[in-house]
Amino acid sequence: MISPAWSVFLIGTKIGLFLQVAPLSVMAKPCPSVCRCDAGFIYCNDRFLTSIPTGIPEDATTLYLQNNQINNAGIPSDLKNLLKVERIYLYHNSLDEFPTNLPKYVKELHLQENNIRTITYDSLSKIPYLEELHLDDNSVSAVSIEEGAFRDSNYLRLLFLSRNHLSTIPWGLPRTIEELRLDDNRISTISSPSLQGLTSLKRLVLDGNLLNNHGLGDKVFFNLVNLTELSLVRNSLTAAPVNLPGTNLRKLYLQDNHINRVPPNAFSYLRQLYRLDMSNNNLSNLPQGIFDDLDNITQLILRNNPWYCGCKMKWVRDWLQSLPVKVNVRGLMCQAPEKVRGMAIKDLNAELFDCKDNPVVSTIQITTGTPNTVHPAQGQWPAPVTKQPDPKNPKLAKDQRTTGIPARKTIIITVKSVTSDTIHISWKLVLPMTALRLSWLKLDHSPAFGSITETIVTGERSEYLVTALEPDSPYRVCMVPMETSNLYLFDETPVCIETETAPLRMYNPTTTLNREQEKEPYKNPNLPLAAIIGGAVALVTIALLALVCWYVHRNGSLFSRNCAYSKGRRRKDDYAEAGTKKDNSILEIRETSFQMLPISSEPISKEEFVIHTIFPPNGMNLYKNNHSESSSNRSYRDSGIPDSDHSHS
Ligand SMILES: *[C@@H]1O[C@H](CO)[C@@H](O)[C@H](O)[C@H]1NC(C)=O
Ligand SMILES: *[C@@H]1O[C@H](CO)[C@@H](O)[C@H](O)[C@H]1NC(C)=O
Ligand SMILES: *[C@@H]1O[C@H](CO)[C@@H](O)[C@H](O)[C@H]1NC(C)=O
């Protein structure tokens, strides 16, 4: 039974319809018989049409022609006489070429899901007032865009070419463009000139392409002074892009790449940046101060990265703790080392970073005793994370003493020749370390035959006596930090120094004593070498410790390599975050609409309407779409463009 309230509603609606329909039927404006025309809105969509019907009224402003089988031959030449048409929906048809004969003043052209391959000047110049061109899901390639095709398109603000066959950004796009979407093409390179003139560009979407850091020109984005949003999701970047235009950039999306390095200047000057997303990358650490210029950052999303919470990341904790509440940071969760896995960086105690509050130091100093004293230049900081190969058999000139990068490491070595076969090595550590590997190598004329002797010393020690050396010979002494927990702080580049044993005539027959010293802890407090020389037991212990450390270290790095880096399938939401999914601006349905269907084919009488809603308020679609493949991100489908007739009241 129909409830009283419902019948009142029905009656009321019928009266309303009667009042509206009566004058329309009296006026009987022309309308193609297969279509429905309503105050400039012409509904010819979803009708298996192979051509655009003739007889479209001259006051037409919007043509709904989507979901048909219209091909290029099916576009009548008198279509161009419809001078009031501003919007044409021709998506999901059978067009092979860019359509011609379009109404001259069309502003908005929806051509998605056809098979259009070419874009020519000839077709575009006839619709010079075009502002929005939707060409997603076609077959456009870079070479099939005629040179200068856009040269008369001086009003084009929006160009969507998602899911085409582009291998690069087309040249000669109009300077008026404000939004350019090129996601899910095959773009692998962007040369600087291609974006050069697009100073009006505000939104650039390049998701799902093949871009790596080599394919991006040095300053490709630099001139885009009006750019507010840049999206490079789902590419193959290994480092965050640099030289971004800071004047207006507010949103930067870098999710789903392979980024394992953020250059120290990557976010310089991005003072307007409001949202930065680097989720699903391969980041284990961040250079100190990387976010310092981001005055306006409010959303920083860094989920699913293999964060290694070593000393190098301690600054992040301090930074997080100093942030104002309005800043929303997500995803800074330690993945390694094991002892802090799963903990939020912000919550870690300072000790857990294993750097005991020492500042990161940017110099190396190597000091020799007599005769050499070397103070290498200040390392430039911050330096990119570069692992340098450990020089196994170094042939360094005498004056080239530093090996490895001049950053972060501070071991000051002093070497003194005690006797002709003994040298005394002492060192100072600016950062605390748990252990160091000390090695010495006789520098022969043929270094390939030299054998390296090495030992492990604990971090508490500061001296070591090397005995049984050859007299009057050059030696190279190196020290390498053997950190277990701070492996990102210290690279394994040794700090080295060269020295010479004294000539034989200075031979001092205390050699035996010195050899003894190496076996037993030296007890005599008067000797300068007291308490330096570890006994054999100590050595074994240290070696064991080192082994354990090495094992943990290995596990640690294995872990960080494997740790939960899964590309996986992207959630739809990510796509929405990237801003490429929904564009409600295409068409908004402002109110619940009604559809009118005559029950019989008899002339319509006011009594014989069924009324039901087309657009239920919860957004659910009552009409199944025969054409659409399994749910896709086709914005023009999701955005409320009617797939069936609907009335504008
Ligand atoms: C940037 O945008 C503003 C406002 O939208 C506009 O006035 C200005 O001309 C644009 N700059 C350039 C270089 O196009
Ligand atoms: C992550 O980065 C490391 C180097 O830091 C690299 O060895 C590894 O292959 C990268 N993993 C992925 C999945 O890109
Ligand atoms: C931050 O953004 C607001 C508007 O969202 C703007 O008015 C302000 O100038 C920005 N601040 C900086 C430092 O750029």
Domains assigned to the chain: 307-354 (no CATH), 411-484+493-501 (2.60.40.10)
Single-letter amino acid code for the residue at 243: N
**Six-digit token pair at 309?**
């919470």
Q: What pLDDT was estimated at residue 88?
A: 96
Q: Is the pLDDT reported for residue 271 higher than 60?
A: yes
Q: Which ligand is nearest to the CA of 202?
A: 1
Nearest to 34 by CA among 16, 54, 20: 54
Question: pLDDT tens digit string along 607-637?
Answer: 333 333 233 333 333 333 333 333 334 445 5
Q: What pLDDT was estimated at residue 24?
A: 46
Q: What pLDDT was estimated at residue 356?
A: 61
**Six-digit token pair at 167?**
């291998």
R_g of the chain computed on alpha carbons:
36
Q: What pLDDT was estimated at residue 133?
A: 96
Q: Which ligand is nearest to the CA of 236?
A: 2
User: How remote is the CA of residue 277 from the centroid of ligand 3, in Å?
Assistant: 19
Nearest to 398 by CA among 466, 474, 479: 474
Q: By mean pLDDT, which of 27-31, 169-173, 380-384 is the weakest?
A: 380-384
Q: Is the pLDDT reported for residue 529 higher than 90?
A: no
Within 563-608, residue ranges assigned H as helices are: 572-577
Q: What pLDDT was estimated at residue 615?
A: 31
CA distance 630 to 335: 36
pTM value is 0.58
Average pLDDT over the chain, rounded to an integer: 70
Residue nearest to atom 6 of ligand 1 (CA): 200
Question: pLDDT tens digit string along 533-550?
Answer: 434 444 444 444 444 444
**Most distant pair of Cα atoms in the chain: their distance:** 127
CA distance 22 to 605: 10
**Six-digit token pair at 576?**
């929405």
More confident residue, 241 or 482: 241
Q: What pLDDT was estimated at residue 641?
A: 45
Q: Please, are residues 399 and 445 in contact by the beta-carbon 8 Å criterion?
A: no
**Six-digit token pair at 430?**
């600016």
List, as one string, the DSSP characters of 26-92: HH-----TTSEEETTEEE--SS--SSPPS---TT--EEE--SS---GGGS-GGGGG-TT--EEE--S
**Three-state DSSP state, 260:** coil
Confidence of residue 12 (pLDDT cuts 50, 70, 90): very low
Q: Is the pLDDT reported for residue 156 higher than 90?
A: yes
Give me the residue label for tokens 């001092």.
Answer: 508
Confidence of residue 56 (pLDDT cuts 50, 70, 90): very high
User: How remote is the CA of residue 250 from the centroid of ligand 3, in Å?
Assistant: 10
Q: What pLDDT was estimated at residue 483?
A: 56
Q: Is the pLDDT reported for residue 468 higher than 70?
A: yes
| Phi and psi at residue 230, to the nearest 5° | -130, 125
Highest mean pLDDT among 16-20, 56-60, 317-321, 629-633: 56-60
Nearest to 596 by CA among 616, 614, 611: 611
| Ligand 2 contact, 282 CB (< 6 A) | yes
Question: pLDDT tens digit string along 334-350?
Answer: 898 888 888 888 888 87
**Ligand 3 site residues, Cβ closer than 6 angstroms:** 271-272, 295-296
Distance of CA 528 to the CA centre of its chain: 57
Q: What pLDDT was estimated at residue 489?
A: 42
Q: Which ligand is nearest to the CA of 386?
A: 2
Confidence of residue 410 (pLDDT cuts 50, 70, 90): low
Q: What pLDDT was estimated at residue 27?
A: 54
Q: Please, are residues 506 and 419 in contact by the beta-carbon 8 Å criterion?
A: yes
User: How remote is the CA of residue 228 from the centroid of ligand 3, in Å?
Assistant: 13
Distance of CA 216 to the CA centre of its chain: 13
- The Cβ-side half-sphere exposure at 182, using a 13 Å CA radius, reads 26
CA dihedral (212, 216, 218, 221) positive or negative = negative
User: How remote is the CA of residue 478 from the centroid of ligand 2, in Å?
Assistant: 30
Q: How far apart, in Å, do the first and last CA atoms of the chain sit?
A: 29
Q: What pLDDT was estimated at residue 68?
A: 95
Q: What pLDDT was estimated at residue 99?
A: 94
CA distance 129 to 632: 31
Single-letter amino acid code for the residue at 289: G
User: How remote is the CA of residue 231 from the centroid of ligand 1, in Å?
Assistant: 20
| Ligand 1 contact, 196 CB (< 6 A) | no
Give me the residue label for tokens 């094991």.
Answer: 338
